């Protein structure tokens, strides 16, 4: 499971990608063989936290692995209550895992939702279910103080050895770089300037960025399939996939 710092950083930068317009269509579900991640940026409201978890459970009616909950004390009861509603669907599953994290945001953000399938950000108009759309409508114009992450994915030992860094801009996929232990540095240009990317034995990271806040550089290293770095000003997404 991600530690709390990594979770918060991933959630915040994922929101930046959503705001930048990386919306790749398609309808999703929580069925077997899919990696589905919901990031919710919510006001400090227990009802909305419960609604976000219920909306994720409603994406698909199939059986799910028993959830692992990592929540700040102030939000644990609300999250646990929402997850208990799906108790009749939970089963022992050695192939997949279902993790839920709830924590306070270090900085206030516009409230919104982001849904990913296989590392791609989905367009709300075509990729969200009815409950997520209803919840998103309630969030418009409000300020977020809480980050909620729901992740249904293969267990790490099923990722396999082959991993690649996918570099994507608004023009589509620009590079696929194997994570094979060799060091490699390259740059990509965007609306806000140039971004320097380093790939080595540890994974991939942004080494230098010309965008104003350089939050992409502060995210650190990504190494596991599904992890991503997003730079909204340069309309750049780095994500790890299996080869």
- In this structure, are residues 195 and 231 in contact, taking their beta carbons and an 8 Å threshold? yes
Mean pLDDT of the chain: 80
- Residue 78: per-residue pLDDT: 94
Per-residue pLDDT tens digits for 203-232: 899 999 888 777 788 777 888 777 778 887
Spell out the SS3 assignment of 177-229. EECCCCCEEEEEEECCEEEEEEEECCEEEEEEECCCCCHHHHCCCECCCCCEE
**This prediction's pTM:** 0.63
Domains of the chain: 4-157 (no CATH), 160-242 (2.60.320.10)
Rounded mean pLDDT of 93-99? Answer: 84
Which two structure tokens, joined as six digits, stand for 118?
């296989």
End-to-end CA distance of the chain: 22
Over residues 2-30, the mean pLDDT reads 46
Which pair of tokens denotes residue 136?
A: 């998103």
Q: Residue 211: what pLDDT?
A: 80
Q: What is the DSSP string of 73-141?
A: HHHHHHHHHHHHTTGGGEE--SSEEEEEEEEEEEEEEE-EEEEEETTEEPPHHHH--HHHHHHHHHHTT
- 55 pLDDT above the threshold of 90: yes
Residue 124 binned pLDDT confidence (cut-offs 50, 70, 90): confident
């Amino acid at each position: 499971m991600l530690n709390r710092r990594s979770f918060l950083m991933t959630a915040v930068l994922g929101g930046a990608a959503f705001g930048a317009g990386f919306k790749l269509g398609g309808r999703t579900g929580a069925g077997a063989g899919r990696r589905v991640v919901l990031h919710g940026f919510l006001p400090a409201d227990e009802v909305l936290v419960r609604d976000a978890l219920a909306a994720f459970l409603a994406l698909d009616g199939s059986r799910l692995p028993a959830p692992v909950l990592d929540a700040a004390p102030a939000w644990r009861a609300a999250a646990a209550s929402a997850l208990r509603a799906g108790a009749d669907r939970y089963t022992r599953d050695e192939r997949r895992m279902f993790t839920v994290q709830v924590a306070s945001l270090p900085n206030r953000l516009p409230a919104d939702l982001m849904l990913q399938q296989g590392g791609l950000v989905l367009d709300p108009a075509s990729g969200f279910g009815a409950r997520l759309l209803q919840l998103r409508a309630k969030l418009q114009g409000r300020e977020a103080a809480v980050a909620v992450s729901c992740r249904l994915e293969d267990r790490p030992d099923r990722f396999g050895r082959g991993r690649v860094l996918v570099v994507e801009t608004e023009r589509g996929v620009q590079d696929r770089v194997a994570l094979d232990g060799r060091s490699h540095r390259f740059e990509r240009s965007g609306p806000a300037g140039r971004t320097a990317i380093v790939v080595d034995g540890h994974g991939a990271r942004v080494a230098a960025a010309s965008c104003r806040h350089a939050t992409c550089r502060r995210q650190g290293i990504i190494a596991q399939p599904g992890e991503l770095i997003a730079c909204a000003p340069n309309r750049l997404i780095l994500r790890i996939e299996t080869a």
